[in-house]
Amino acid sequence: MRMAFMGVAFAIAWVKWDASWMFPLRVLMTLIHEFGHGIAGILTGGSIERIEVGRCLGGLCYVSGGWRWVILPAGYLGSMAAGCSIILLASRTRFAKFVSLALGALVILGTLLWVRTQTGFVYGLLVGAGLASTGWWLTQDINELLLNVVGAMNCMASLFGLKYLFVYQGYNDALLFSKEIFPLPPIVWALAWFALSTVALGFTLHLAARPADKS
């Protein structure tokens, strides 16, 4: 059953990525990416000024203070960490309903505190309320499937975004890291983050697919 859930989740995320009904979840992916930057800033002594998410699904997180060398990679690496954590919580525990409820509440809280664009604010609240409602009202199996889809989308968004950095030479996290922290070519940092994310995803899927402990 666990393997079926994960297979369906990744298939949905892959095949229906550009479907119009997936737009709210893709806004959620962008929010989680920006929350990653912001949380890294808070954990290193900074503060979040605001987060912006537009209809084109581009996002910006404005952070005052903090350690830039931690903040800059925390968008992509944070998205992967969030996706892997969600998959493991959905697949290896019996608390999928609680995880959906808690995740929805955290998305609502983060949106209210920091998101300052209409698209991000409206969809952040809607998706947060949807996750929380799913956790409150629907079955364990439905919550497990939903969380696997959300986790899979986060992981894929991280990998797709990092792959995009290989060819996109404009304003991005790898370019900023190269300019501000260590002057290697941006593609080197994009490749390093891509490798870390791929290893994390592979390890997560290995753990998630293991037979349940029957002791």
For residue range 158-180, what is the model confidence (pLDDT) as tens digits? 888 887 777 665 678 999 999 99
pLDDT at 185 over 70: yes
- The answer to the question of residue 205 being in a domain is yes
In the numeric block, the tokens 């991005």 are attached to 172
- The answer to the question of residue 23 being in a domain is no
Q: Can you give the pLDDT at residue 215? A: 40
- 3-state secondary structure (DSSP) of residue 18: coil
Residue 67, domain extent: 2-13+44-209
What is the pTM for the complete model shown?
A: 0.93
Question: Rounded to an integer, what distance in angstroms lies between the CA atom of residue 83 and that of residue 203?
Answer: 12
pLDDT tens figures, 113-128: 999 999 999 999 999 9
Q: Residue 42, Cα to own-chain centre: how many angstroms? A: 18
- The answer to the question of residue 98 being in a domain is yes
- The answer to the question of residue 25 being in a domain is no
Question: Rounded to an integer, what distance in angstroms lies between the CA atom of residue 34 and that of residue 112?
Answer: 14
pLDDT grade for 12, boundaries at 50, 70 and 90: confident
- The answer to the question of residue 26 being in a domain is no
- The answer to the question of residue 91 being in a domain is yes
- The answer to the question of residue 61 being in a domain is yes
Question: Rounded to an integer, what distance in angstroms lies between the CA atom of residue 39 and that of residue 78?
Answer: 9
- The answer to the question of residue 89 being in a domain is yes
Indicate the number of domains in the chain: 1
Q: Can you give the pLDDT at residue 214? A: 40
